[in-house]
Chains A and B, each alone.
Chain A
Amino acid sequence: MAALADTAVVGASAPPGEPLLRVSGLTVDIPTPRGPLRALDDVSFELAPHRTLGLVGESGSGKSMLVRTIMGISPARSTVTGSVRFDGVELTSLPRRAARSYWGRRIAMVFQDPTTSLNPVLTVGRQLTEATRAHLGLGRARATERAVELLDLVSIPEPRRRLRQYPHELSGGMRQRVTIAMALACDPDLLIADEATTALDVTVQKQILDLIAGIQRERGLALILVSHDLGVVAGRTDDIAVLYGGRVAERASTRVLFAGHRHPYSQALLAAVPRLDRPAGAAPRTIPGTPPDLVLAPPGCRFAPRCPSAEDDCHRAAPAPRPGADPTHAYACLHPIPTTKAERR
């Protein structure tokens, strides 16, 4: 974890062996009338260039909070501690001016609801050219050409005509393609998609996820795919981090997470996924109870009240991450699921 020279040179890539993104001990506290809410608690993970990380967990588990904090958008009055290093540069303590060359530029994000990221009163063309003119200093004509290229890249037919349209004139799928085009405008090294396809039909979701995968291969982007749907991340990620109550319950390569998970929450989450190949009438298994209250969280494992393997010691202190058999595998559980299944995979 040697401190590297802070380079703000755009396009510099992490030295060999150094991950593109390293999040360590990231903790976010938000003041609320009931007391401080710990939205993220000691979150750590790494992401290498060109790789894809899936972030999964129930709603409220902190997925959006995590990626927004990486993007430098944390709620007002919140306290952020810990570290977010991107390409060797610490982002949490970066001066505003310097940060502008990262957020929206080298790290770009696509949100679930395209209506929040698109301005309803500006044409698609205006919004696309604004980004490249501001960030890359392109002239009007060049920016327009670039906008056409971008719409073409995200497979929008008749890009020139679309430039003159307003967001409401487009379907939900088309709007999401436009936001992806905007995110790609400055050629980022890391793209974060926060439930970017959750609101779309499966057919359109597939088109867009395939599109992102193609662009990723072509441009060598790193990708964080946030989804509450394990089906979406299964075939499209290298690694997965499972969040629960603002903590990383388990992280592993995607293969290990599905076949050899050790955390009872990972297991419960996998069992709750409705599957197409399950015989009719066999309902997915439920996880009893509800996610934890992050304001008055008792000490101990946050999954304890719902965990079928919980014992007395689980209620005492938060379990520290333990290494799994695989080098990238870690899980925070005192009484993990036996390895037999994992070893026999």
Chain B
Amino acid sequence: MTQTTTAHAAVTQPAVTQPAMAQAPARPGALLRVEHLVQRYRARGAVVHAVSDVSFDLLPGECLGLVGESGCGKSTTGRAILQLPRPTAGRVVLDGEDLCALDRRRLRHRRHRLQMIFQDPVAALNPRRRVRDLVVEGLDIQRQLPGGERAARADALLRDVGLDPELVGDRRPHELSGGQCQRVAIARALAVGPDVLVCDEPVASLDVSVQAQVLTLLARLRAEHRLALLFVAHDLAVVRAVVDRVAVMYLGTIAEIGPVDAVYDTPAHPYTRALLDAVPVPDPAVDPEQAPSLTGELPSPLAPPSGCPFRTRCPRAADRCAAERPLPRAVGPDHHVACHFPLVDPLPDSTSGDGSHEDGFGRPAGAGERAGRDRA
């Protein structure tokens, strides 16, 4: 799989200070490709490196989980895909079209293809509007529907997400439970018929029992509507239950990405291992204190460490880790890790470092151009 030759592009902008990292080869048939995504914010004179060179892709109907500690850039990545706000650098390619290159008017016409739901469902909904109106609001942006058709469409959507339109259609968000609000938000996102749904911690504020209800709903809708999902979550157990693939983020970068079973069962990155070790196990026979603890905290995104971003907390860190940024290497089919000393041996031909150095370090500054290159 990894040997498949796929053309992909790298991009730079004048403000890029760090070399772009090589990316795992894009898979054929991808619906969405995120390439070398960079998002920086200016805050009180300093630069926050929220996302520093993130690449991944999403097949139609696929679900990719995005996990990592608070502040590692999960939400920023999700929002940057929707161009909220537009990324500092990189490309977001939907069906062959780079959204970052579209002007505002053309982008507005693509908006219905990408939708997003948020962690706090109550806050995400306009408190003054009734459920039925909230659901079809999105539709109106596309085209005006006659009143009767509107209500019928809203009711169908509400039923689709497991709500009784008779019971909740005329209510306002504060008259619903958190789980019900999240269902309304999902119905609202579905109204415009998206291909990609970005879910930012969709069940984090819900009870376990309600969590399971919403997760089951998302799984059903995904199958029925052939929706591709980007599922942002900090709860690794929740992620395991719903995604096909998972990307582990650390300080604005992807540490490891691959099929969820491969990443969870044979993690290759020391950070993935540490995250998994920290997850509480619902089994009294397991002593949680026996699992090793990750020390320290996420470094400040104002001044990310040189080399490997994880080196300040990594039990395997060596001199090379401070000097050189690890590039993603294949450790299994569609499974890549960015670590000099991974826990799983890299595949022999997975030298994705080749050429990328040239690409990352040797580019003329000031060029906004896109340089295509082939992997061999």
Contacts and interface: CB of A to CB of B under 8 A. Distances in A.
Contacts of B69: 201, 203-204
Interface string A284-313: 111110100000000000000000000000
Contact of A232 (B179, B216, B280): B280
B275 A274 contact: no
A270 interface: yes
Interface string B261-281: 100100000000011111111
Contacts of A202: 234-236, 275, 278-280
A275 B237 contact: yes
A263 interface: no
A283 interface: yes
A274 B240 contact: yes
B280 A234 contact: yes
Contacts of B302: none
A336 B70 CA distance: 41
A16 interface: no
Contacts of A95: none
A281 interface: yes
Interface in A181-207: 200-207
A234 B261 CA distance: 24
A178 B293 CA distance: 20
A285 B208 CA distance: 10
B289 A210 contact: yes
B284 A287 contact: no
Interface in A207-224: 207, 209-210, 213
B264 to A, nearest CB: 7
A44 B295 CA distance: 39
A185 to B, nearest CB: 24
Contacts, number: 149
B47 interface: no
B306 interface: no
A280 interface: yes
A231 B237 contact: yes
Interface in B347-373: none
B147 interface: no
A166 to B, nearest CB: 16
B137 interface: no
B279 A284 contact: no
Contact of A284 (B211, B236, B276, B286): B211
B216 to A, nearest CB: 5
A280 B234 contact: no
Interface string B240-262: 11111000000000000000110
B319 interface: no
Contacts of A269: 208-209
A235 B241 contact: no
A213 B38 CA distance: 41
A204 B275 CA distance: 10
Q: How large is the interface on A (under 10, 10 to 19, 20 to 34, 35 or more residues)?
A: 35 or more
B175 to A, nearest CB: 13
B207 A276 contact: no
A174 B261 CA distance: 33
A273 interface: yes
Interface residues of B, number: 47
Contacts of B145: none
Given A258-B283, A274-B208, A283 B236 contact: no
A172 to B, nearest CB: 7
B216 A283 contact: yes
Given A203-B69, A274-B240, A275-B282, A171 B297 contact: yes
Contacts of A287: 209, 212-213
Contacts of B219: 281, 283
B207 A270 contact: no
A15 interface: no
B209 A206 contact: no
A276 B177 contact: no
A173 interface: yes
Given A172-B70, A206-B293, A213-B289, A281 B241 contact: yes
B9 interface: no
A67 interface: no
Interface string B194-226: 000000000000011111110110010000000
B374 interface: no
A58 B207 contact: yes
Contact of A231 (B207, B216, B281, B294): B281
B334 to A, nearest CB: 14
B288 interface: yes
A59 interface: yes
Nearest to B206: A59
A201 B70 contact: yes
Given A203-B294, A228-B207, A285-B212, 9 more contacts: A201-B234, A203-B274, A204-B69, A206-B294, A231-B281, A270-B282, A273-B282, A286-B212, A287-B209
Interface of B: 69-70, 177, 179, 207-213, 215-216, 219, 234-238, 240-244, 260-261, 264, 274-284, 286-289, 291, 293-295, 297
**9 A-B pairs closest in CB distance:** A231-B280, A287-B209, A274-B237, A286-B212, A202-B278, A206-B278, A231-B282, A235-B288, A284-B212
30 contacts: A58-B207, A58-B208, A58-B209, A171-B297, A201-B278, A206-B277, A206-B293, A206-B294, A207-B294, A229-B280, A231-B281, A234-B281, A234-B286, A235-B280, A235-B284, A235-B287, A255-B284, A272-B209, A273-B282, A274-B208, A276-B237, A276-B276, A278-B240, A278-B241, A280-B244, A284-B211, A284-B212, A286-B216, A287-B209, A290-B210
